Structure 1
Amino acid sequence: MAERLVAALCGAVAVAVSALFAWVLADLLHQGLPELSLGFLLEAPRDAGRAGGIAPVIVATLLILLVCLAASLPIGLGTAVLLAEVSRGRNRFARAVRASLDVLAGVPSIVFGLFGNAMFSLWLGLGFSILSGGLTLACMVLPVLIRSCEQGLRAVPHDYRQAAAALGLSWGSTLRLVILPSAAQGLAVGLVLGLGRALAETAALLFTSGYVDRMPSSLLDSGRALSVHIYDLAMNVPGGEARACATAVVLVALLLLCNGLTMLLATRWQGSTAGR
């Protein structure tokens, strides 16, 4: 009876979470679907966003996301390998790094925005630019990315490492051919969580990437992200609520596409390595 009760509670929680997501998505589709069209995706905003489309906003969002991933993935994966494989003995350095990551994960995004403005926009002279926004988001997603990747690496059975050592594989070959492919699903989860936080961020980008809604010509141009565009339409533009919902639908679709692509690539990587 106890096991059945726990299983029923877990199932009820899963259904409630799915129902909440379906409710939010249905509300966005109900309000934003009439505004969606090919022109909405391919044209530039006009009349403060009440007319036109969101093409420059989508491009700026993708560029900010690429900068964020290019900066955070090497550092995040390298730190996760250090914590999970090199510092398995829980020494003082590893404990200090984990404590710092846990504190950074709880820092409000507005604080990261102020830091990014002072560090990248002012001190490094990048100004309000896509590069400043992407680097600020990289600092934000690193704690979640590192801790998730570390847990994924730790979930790989130790027998895999012993078997690789018995076959004469070096540590680097074991890491590349055995550990990382086996932890692909856990690494994908960390990447998905990082992507979700980066795509949904607004406060930090207000201080770093800026408000400009024109098509960016380089990473040093200012660019408006989708989340910032939604905030501006909903809060500052009278009559922009329907356009805000339509932009939110595009943002959710982009997030689902990135999540599905990440999980697919991780599964294929894991399968191709296992078939060697």
Structure 2
Amino acid sequence: MLEHTPSRAGDALFKAALWLTAALVVGACGLILLDLLWRGGPAINWSFLTEAPRNAGRDGGIAPILWSTLLILAVALATSLPLGLACAVWLTEYLPAGSRRGRVVRVSLDALAGIPSIVFGLFGHAFFCVTLGLGFSILSGGLTLACMVLPIFIRTSEAGLSALGDDWRRQGAALGMTRASVLLHVLLPAAMPAITAGAMLGVGRASAETAALIFTSGYVDRWPDSLGDSGRALAVHIYDLSMNVTGGDAAAYGSALVLMTLIALINAVTMGLSMQWVRHKDHRT
């Protein structure tokens, strides 16, 4: 009886297609980064990072805008990551497989993930700014971004937890471990790559949002005194410089380069912390 084996030519063609796809993706990212370095690199200096903007952003720096961006991201991540991880655990570990409630939640999350950011901005303005009385503030912007991050983070974390077979859970139960212990010491470390990927995707989307923040965190470029103050994010600043300020292209490219560097640093820190946590759990185990 002859066995059907894929031809070597087919394997080579498929492998070449994969390498070509990866090269195109890396090449596109590299071209964007090179363009930002070429156009925005000359604008980066110490005063650009430590001074406030002047002359509608053409001169000065981005210090208050960078600080506002960090505060907005901190609010968004501090809100979305714990809630998202708890929801993912509930969907995978505490709901019966194929339950109606689980299907409704998953469909709702998929729908929310596809909603345009402008709709989240209008919702954030109506709910956080007006209904809750937070006004145009960093807190309103951060909570609105948290609503945008949650669907992506929950679904990614859920996929990581669901990919783990039931044998992991049975072996923990056979050893006398509680469900919480199995979750904390076995399942979460094993699913940490997917959880980290979800956090990175969330950071990437939250950092680059413009429309949602214009309606919630505001447009002013001054130093915020608290989370209740309005603050301009880097993405909003880049949009304003490139669209509304004549002669602001150099500062816009410099701000874009800073934003990409900030996203890369946050992703590196997130990856490092997750790997350190996994190694700590493995060492204790």
Report the counterpart of residue 87 of structure 1 in structure 2.
95
Report the counterpart of residue 22 of structure 1 in structure 2.
30
Report the counterpart of residue 53 of structure 1 in structure 2.
61
Distance in 1 between the 2:39 and 2:121 partners?
Answer: 31
Report the counterpart of residue 78 of structure 1 in structure 2.
86
Alignment of 1:142 onto 2:147? no
Q: How does 1:192-271 map to 2 (within 5 A)?
A: 192-271=200-279
Report the counterpart of residue 4 of structure 2 in structure 1.
none
Distance in 2 between the 1:155 and 1:169 partners?
Answer: 21
Give the letter aligned to residue 48 of structure 2.
F
Give the letter aligned to residue 201 of structure 2.
L
Alignment of 1:42 onto 2:19? no
Report the counterpart of residue 107 of structure 1 in structure 2.
115
Alignment of 1:96 onto 2:122? no
Any idea what SS the aligned residue of 1:210 has?
coil
Report the counterpart of residue 125 of structure 1 in structure 2.
133
Measured against aligned partners, the alpha-carbon deviations of 1:6-34 in whole angstroms (never above 9, x if no partner) come to: 11111110110000000001011111111
Worse-superposed segment, 171-180 or 151-160: 151-160
Give the letter aligned to residue 89 of structure 1.
A
**Superposition RMSD in Å:** 0.8
Q: How does 1:152-191 map to 2 (within 5 A)?
A: 152-191=160-199
- Which of the residues 10, 14, 28 maps onto 1:6? 14
TM-score by length of 1: 0.98
Distance in 2 between the 1:112 and 1:72 partners?
Answer: 15
Give the letter aligned to residue 217 of structure 1.
D
Q: CA deviation at 1:88?
A: 4.6
Alignment of 1:64 onto 2:72? yes
TM-score by length of 2: 0.95
Give the letter aligned to residue 58 of structure 2.
R
Q: CA deviation at 1:83?
A: 1.1
Report the counterpart of residue 5 of structure 2 in structure 1.
none
Distance in 2 between the 1:208 and 1:147 partners?
Answer: 26
Give the letter aligned to residue 266 of structure 1.
S
Which structure: larger Rg?
2
Measured against aligned partners, the alpha-carbon deviations of 1:200-247 in whole angstroms (never above 9, x if no partner) come to: 000000000001101111000000000000000000000000110000
Give the letter aligned to residue 262 of structure 1.
T
Distance in 2 between the 1:230 and 1:158 partners?
Answer: 48
Q: CA deviation at 1:87?
A: 2.0
Measured against aligned partners, the alpha-carbon deviations of 1:177-218 in whole angstroms (never above 9, x if no partner) come to: 111111111100000000000000000000000011011110
Worse-superposed segment, 185-194 or 158-167: 158-167
Stretches of structure 1 that go unaligned for 5 or more consecutive residues are none
Distance in 2 between the 1:5 and 1:98 partners?
Answer: 37
Measured against aligned partners, the alpha-carbon deviations of 1:96-119 in whole angstroms (never above 9, x if no partner) come to: 000000000010000000000000
